[in-house]
Chain A
């Protein structure tokens, strides 16, 4: 008689390990194609950001007629989770797994949450707006489900990005980190631009059915891209699994104190907060400023965003090159912030007779500065972390960066609305509220520069030291510059 059991088991055994989602060996050399594949998680992150901040922002207010304040509160919910990035990063550093995995379980969990949030989001929004029979549904149902959807997506994005960046840092050598940072940023930008175009085209003729299709389509794409990105990236490792079992597990507090004890770490975090805040507010104000103060048409203001993104791309390119050839991240971050100041100044001056050319120049400069600054500070974060603290370091970077960006965008809107609503504001020219925000941004960037100065001096001294003592083994020097930067 035919033995089905043996037959089935033999077939099972013969499934080659190449169909399994983890690599069997950790290779020293990671080819570019693999890094490109890993960076796809940033595309899904960019897609989620655009969907929340751009597309749904508009759809909820215009098509679904949800009150603007409620929309603002819902969209701000994911920022609440930003500080939890530190915890996620820390947990992935100290994760105990029988398979020896550290990062992939968390990317997978984050993907699940991201997917889940998108899966229920369209229905939650329809119930919230009282579509169909939902008019009779209790109010709390729409509110709580929409809040849950946004929280899930936010939590998922934070987890995926933090742990994904940590995995990328694990994979490459320190010399290649600037390239990886550049790649990650470019993919984020790429994901945002492509998905903004696609969502815009798909939702031109809005129907509730189309909304469901678009958001759930985003959910499916998120899962597929993230699965493809993490496939075989982390090695299954029995020795590491055994080390994980016996290794002492530090408390979160200890690890956190150890991280902040590094020279210049706290300073760097403050700089990241100030700089991100300074650059971040520009994203949302450039388009309305061009429209209201300079009389640009809608199509022209959209091109502005492309110009800003172009400047940022150039910034990433320059930063990757300079840092790859041994430049210090702190100096480059300072350069980025310094370039932003004349950028914003040019934007302000465009309302005082500078006109469109001045404005466009300012936009490009701002983008360039933001690119340099973002790249340099993330590279500095990666370099400053020991191998057992990469997740925590990147989590801290993400927490500071996401919170600062969120507050920056919110505050930009609030300051503008306050000035518009102020008594006697009716006589003010249209550019005043915007320029007030731009002035605040210049102030923050200048502050970031001032705080960076001692750091730059320190790294210069470290570099001088390095050239003096070139007889020392190279590995020792590496750690020295890493600590200083």
Chain B
């Protein structure tokens, strides 16, 4: 598909570029996950929903 062996098909990004884009996704998931966890714990403290 591409002349450059370093490029990842089909996006046309190089391997490093693809990894960087992926790292943003991973970081975002981690931050959002941690925030959701804390928020749930706080809500559980004020209005417990697990009995």
Interface residues of A (CB under 8 A from B): 9, 12-13, 97-99, 105, 108-109, 112-113, 115-116, 119-120, 123-124, 126-127, 131-134, 137, 141, 145, 148, 241
CB of B48 closer than 8 Å to a CB of A: yes
Interfacial residues of chain B within 7-51, with CB under 8 A of chain A in the complex: 9-11, 14, 16-17, 19-21, 24, 27-28, 31-32, 34-36, 38-39, 42-43, 45-48
Could you list 26 examples of A-B contacts with CB < 8 Å? A9-B9, A12-B10, A13-B10, A98-B16, A98-B20, A99-B17, A105-B24, A108-B24, A116-B31, A116-B34, A119-B39, A120-B35, A120-B38, A120-B39, A123-B46, A126-B46, A127-B42, A127-B45, A127-B46, A131-B46, A133-B46, A133-B47, A134-B46, A137-B45, A141-B42, A141-B45
Known: A9-B10, A112-B28, A133-B48. A98 touches B42 (CB 8 A): no
Query: By the criterion CB–CB under 8 Å, are A120 and B10 in contact?
Result: no
Residue of B nearest to A104 (CB): B24
Whole-angstrom CA separation of A468 from B43 in the bound complex: 70
Query: By the criterion CB–CB under 8 Å, are A137 and B16 in contact?
Result: no
Q: What chain A residues lie within 8 Å of B42 (beta carbons)?
A: 120, 123-124, 126-127, 141, 145
Q: What chain B residues lie within 8 Å of A97 (beta carbons)?
A: 20
Q: What's the dominant secondary structure at chain A's contact region?
A: helix
Q: What chain B residues lie within 8 Å of A112 (beta carbons)?
A: 27-28, 31-32
Interface residues of B (CB under 8 A from A): 9-11, 14, 16-17, 19-21, 24, 27-28, 31-32, 34-36, 38-39, 42-43, 45-48
Q: What chain A residues lie within 8 Å of B48 (beta carbons)?
A: 133
Q: What chain B residues lie within 8 Å of A98 (beta carbons)?
A: 14, 16-17, 19-20
Residue of B nearest to A17 (CB): B12
Q: What chain B residues lie within 8 Å of A137 (beta carbons)?
A: 45-46
Q: What chain B residues lie within 8 Å of A145 (beta carbons)?
A: 38, 42
Whole-angstrom CA separation of A429 from B46 in the bound complex: 46
* B42 CB to nearest A CB, Å: 4
Q: What chain A residues lie within 8 Å of B34 (beta carbons)?
A: 116
Kindly identify which residue among A99, A123, A241 contacts B39, using a CB–CB cutoff of 8 Å.
A123
* A312 CB to nearest B CB, Å: 35
Residue of B nearest to A14 (CB): B10
* A98 CB to nearest B CB, Å: 4
* B30 CB to nearest A CB, Å: 10
Q: What chain B residues lie within 8 Å of A131 (beta carbons)?
A: 46
Q: What chain B residues lie within 8 Å of A120 (beta carbons)?
A: 35, 38-39, 42
* B5 CB to nearest A CB, Å: 16
Residue of A nearest to B21 (CB): A99
Whole-angstrom CA separation of A181 from B32 in the bound complex: 33
Q: What chain A residues lie within 8 Å of B35 (beta carbons)?
A: 115-116, 119-120
Whole-angstrom CA separation of A148 from B38 in the bound complex: 10
Whole-angstrom CA separation of A131 from B47 in the bound complex: 9
Kindly identify which residue among A109, A123, A141 contacts B43, using a CB–CB cutoff of 8 Å.
A123
Query: By the criterion CB–CB under 8 Å, are B19 and A12 in contact?
Result: no
| A-B contacts besides A132-B46, A133-B46, 6 pairs, CB < 8 Å | A97-B20, A109-B27, A120-B39, A133-B48, A137-B46, A141-B45
Residue of B nearest to A105 (CB): B24
Residue of B nearest to A10 (CB): B10
Residue of A nearest to B17 (CB): A98
Q: What chain A residues lie within 8 Å of B28 (beta carbons)?
A: 112
Q: What chain B residues lie within 8 Å of A113 (beta carbons)?
A: 31
Q: What chain A residues lie within 8 Å of B27 (beta carbons)?
A: 109, 112
Q: What chain A residues lie within 8 Å of B38 (beta carbons)?
A: 120, 145, 148
Whole-angstrom CA separation of A169 from B25 in the bound complex: 28
Q: Which 9 A-B pairs have the closest CB atoms?
A: A98-B16, A123-B42, A134-B46, A116-B35, A137-B45, A132-B46, A98-B17, A13-B10, A98-B20
Q: What chain B residues lie within 8 Å of A119 (beta carbons)?
A: 35-36, 39
Q: What chain B residues lie within 8 Å of A116 (beta carbons)?
A: 31-32, 34-35
Known: A108-B24, A112-B31, A116-B31. A133 touches B14 (CB 8 A): no
Q: Give the most central of B9, B24, B39: most A CB within 10 Å.
A: B39
Q: What chain A residues lie within 8 Å of B19 (beta carbons)?
A: 98
Q: What chain B residues lie within 8 Å of A141 (beta carbons)?
A: 42, 45
Q: What chain A residues lie within 8 Å of B11 (beta carbons)?
A: 12-13
* A42 CB to nearest B CB, Å: 23
